[in-house]
Structure 1
Amino acid sequence: MLATLDEPTPVYSILRSPAVARLHSVTKRYGAITALDTLNLAINAGEVLALLGPNGAGKTTAIRLLLGLISPTAGSVRVMGRDPRDSATRTRIGAMLQVTRVPETLRVREHIDLFRSYYPHPMSVAEIVRLARLEGLEDRFFGKLSGGQKQRVLFGLAICGNPDLVFLDEPTVGLDIESRRALWAQVRELAARGKAVLLTTHYLEEADALAHRVIVIDKGKILAEGTPAQIKTRVTGRRIRCVTDCDHSWLRALPGVADVQPDRDAVVITATAPEAVLREMFLHDATVSDLEVSTAALEDAFLALTQAQA
């Protein structure tokens, strides 16, 4: 039974599915620079895997290896059990990359027809248009589209071949909130169909919403791996955001406070026992306002992991 769009397939079920792509003990060097250092990574059927890391962490190198654009210095790369450079393997891969450029003088339908012709068993035009939400844009010239519309076309071109493995590199850049949420639904649908999706994004709430599993890398090594919930447990405590006259140094000295950061006219406090902290704050400042208490976000865990590495 397939999971619904609101109920993703449990991770334990996905991890039992066969690995669609794998990096095994891969090292990649560019001269004296080591971009990846004995990295192990697997992407499973029906999984959305978010690969996160700061700029220069090695994400692009990992993707280029899996696409067969470069070769490892050491270790092995396999996609569908084969060398990713094999022509038969390439026809089962789709990619939406930041470096993608397509002619602006072709109409959207012409682009779709052209890309479909590259694959032996392409997805139907109607299905591509539906999944990428391109209804009404088919006869528009690509160069006349807005930035968000162009992103939707590039997503459509990435799935033209009905691929088993899809690379999505910053897929929602330039999209408004409604279009971003709609694309999230389409990514979930791809995973529900058994496709493996490798997602890179700087919108960490996007990774939190979409990913079955998250891998955080830096300096070519894995810092953390697990579900978004498991990654977030790497940050102890919850967040308090409020407007207060309490001095920041006084807040930092309170028991259980791990961090205090200004946020415009407010302050964000990370604490293991926020209730006790708030009781002290109310005694010290009766004017506390705009109060929010939340669990740690994926962004907090990401920053904690990468700052600790630095």
Structure 2
Amino acid sequence: MFTTEAHSGADLVVTVRGLTKSYGARTVVDNLDLDVHAGEVLGLIGANGAGKTTSVECIQGLRRPDAGEIRVLGLDPTRDADRLRPQIGSQLQSSGLPDRLRVAEAVALFAGPQAADGDRLLEQFGLAYRRKSPFAGMSGGERQRLFLVLALLNKPRLVILDELTQGLDPAARREVWSAVAQLRDSGAAVLLVTHELDEAEALCERVVAMRDGRVLDQGTPAELIARHSHEVVMRFGLAAAGAPADLQQTAYTLQALNRLPGVTSVARERGDVVIRGTREVIAQVGAWLVSTGRPAPADLRVEIPDLESALLNLLDSDETDRIGVAS
């Protein structure tokens, strides 16, 4: 029985229940459940082979699942492909165009009756000067930007983006991020597949972490970070902190730091003080340095948990669990 959650309401754009896809004996997507709402960016993250791209290809109707049910805007993407196609924009890893097709010709070819201003989009993504250029003569980054223009051209209600900013320089990457945020704010649903976890953290309201076709965890980026990457690490030199070099005074400094709220460990590593603990540690160590009259360490480094560390910890934990089950 195909059901959706009670809170989904009219803003539910994509619903996936029990999606399974195998190639031979290898299961690529394993019983995936997924919801995507209007006005949100949902990210699929995980290592290569996690099943992310196959999942979005099934959602778009490019592959037929072996089991499970998919609804996009209330329609089946396999049976209702013709009705859905004008409402979905996509930029996929496998995207390609004929070598001789010029940029302006591609925009004209893909534009539907209600298309946005193609020239404005080309200008927005820094491709106006390429209007007469053939596809074969474009760089990898320029091709990525063109695929994004084509994905947004017909004002879709669902946009599927696979490795959105691969090959882009930092400035172009920020421009693309801004365009995705504008798209979300306009009410479209965005399904983003990415290896760039800073990108997922910056753009996504929710993320789904996958491995070998299975969902390991999902939630907001902040929720995944809180569950799987708790530790803040602060480092600074003992000399910079004003600590004398003799062992007695060094031990006193380490003990004083270890008593601060939020600190879980303090150690000396190659002449540095290394403090680990919760986010509270940042304020507590700063206050301690001020209260003792020590100068702010010029070599102070702070490592704050992020989505990348959370995913690595989650994958390591899953691998440990598998080894335990296998043994």
Q: Same fold (TM over 0.5)?
A: yes
Distance 2:172 2:47 in 1: 26
Aligned match of 2:97 in 94, 98, 102? 102
Distance 2:134 2:267 in 1: 51
User: Are the equivalent residues in 2 in contact too, given 1:239–1:271 (CA < 8 A)?
Assistant: yes
Q: Helix, strand or coil: the match of 2:47? A: coil
Aligned match of 2:109 in 94, 114, 125? 114
Measured at CA, do residues 243 and 156 of structure 1 come closer, stay the same or move farther in structure 2, by a change above 3 Å? farther
Aligned match of 2:309 in 289, 293, 300? 300
Measured at CA, do residues 123 and 270 of structure 1 come closer, stay the same or move farther in structure 2, by a change above 3 Å? farther
State the shift of 1:161 in Å. Answer: 2.2
User: Are the equivalent residues in 2 in contact too, given 1:244–1:289 (CA < 8 A)?
Assistant: no
Q: Helix, strand or coil: the match of 2:130? A: coil
Which structure's CA Rg is the greater one?
2
Distance 1:260 1:90 in 2: 60
Q: Say whether 1:92 aligns with 2:87.
A: yes
Aligned match of 2:277 in 267, 271, 275? 271
User: Are the equivalent residues in 2 in contact too, given 1:260–1:270 (CA < 8 A)?
Assistant: no
Measured at CA, do residues 59 and 43 of structure 1 come closer, stay the same or move farther in structure 2, by a change above 3 Å? same
Q: Which segments of 5 or more consecutive residues in structure 1 lack a partner in the other structure?
A: 1-13, 246-250, 280-287
String of CA shifts for 1:209-230, please: whole Å, max 9, x gaps. Answer: 1111111111222111111111
Give the corresponding residue for 2:64: 71
Q: Helix, strand or coil: the match of 1:209? A: helix
Q: Say whether 1:28 aligns with 2:21.
A: yes
| CA RMSD in angstroms, aligned pairs only | 3.3
Measured at CA, do residues 204 and 140 of structure 1 come closer, stay the same or move farther in structure 2, by a change above 3 Å? same
Distance 2:209 2:236 in 1: 30
Distance 1:259 1:96 in 2: 48
Distance 1:205 1:260 in 2: 31
Distance 1:110 1:269 in 2: 58
Measured at CA, do residues 291 and 170 of structure 1 come closer, stay the same or move farther in structure 2, by a change above 3 Å? same
Give the corresponding residue for 1:256: 264
Give the corresponding residue for 2:36: 43
User: Are the equivalent residues in 1 in contact too, given 2:13–2:36 (CA < 8 A)?
Assistant: yes
Runs of 4 or more, structure 1, over 6 Å off, are 258-262, 266-269, 275-279
State the shift of 1:208 in Å. Answer: 0.6
State the shift of 1:55 in Å. Answer: 1.1
Distance 1:121 1:219 in 2: 40
String of CA shifts for 1:88-146, please: whole Å, max 9, x gaps. Answer: 11221111111111122222101111111xx3432232343244332222122222223
Give the corresponding residue for 1:7: none
Q: Helix, strand or coil: the match of 2:128? A: coil
Q: Helix, strand or coil: the match of 2:56? A: helix
User: Are the equivalent residues in 1 in contact too, given 2:53–2:162 (CA < 8 A)?
Assistant: no
User: Are the equivalent residues in 2 in contact too, given 1:142–1:150 (CA < 8 A)?
Assistant: yes
String of CA shifts for 1:238-258, please: whole Å, max 9, x gaps. Answer: 13355789xxxxx9xx87249
Measured at CA, do residues 193 and 222 of structure 1 come closer, stay the same or move farther in structure 2, by a change above 3 Å? same
Q: Helix, strand or coil: the match of 1:55? A: coil
Distance 2:191 2:55 in 1: 11
Give the corresponding residue for 1:283: none
String of CA shifts for 1:16-65, please: whole Å, max 9, x gaps. Answer: 65211121122222222222222110111111111101111110121111
String of CA shifts for 1:249-279, please: whole Å, max 9, x gaps. Answer: xx9xx872499999xxx99875347568999
Give the corresponding residue for 1:60: 53
State the shift of 1:156 in Å. Answer: 0.7
Paired residues, number: 282
Q: Helix, strand or coil: the match of 1:151? A: helix
Map 1:1-310 onto structure 2 (within 5 A).
18-85=11-78, 86-116=81-111, 119-234=112-227, 235-241=229-235, 256-257=264-265, 271-272=277-278, 274=281, 290-310=299-319
Aligned sequence identity (%): 39
Farther off after superposition, 186-195 or 133-142: 133-142
Measured at CA, do residues 242 and 134 of structure 1 come closer, stay the same or move farther in structure 2, by a change above 3 Å? farther
Farther off after superposition, 53-62 or 28-37: 28-37
Q: Helix, strand or coil: the match of 2:75? A: coil
Farther off after superposition, 156-165 or 143-152: 143-152
Distance 1:158 1:220 in 2: 26
User: Are the equivalent residues in 1 in contact too, given 2:266–2:274 (CA < 8 A)?
Assistant: no
Distance 1:17 1:261 in 2: 56
Q: Which segments of 5 or more consecutive residues in structure 2 lack a partner in the other structure?
A: 1-6, 240-253, 289-296, 320-327
Q: Helix, strand or coil: the match of 2:174? A: helix
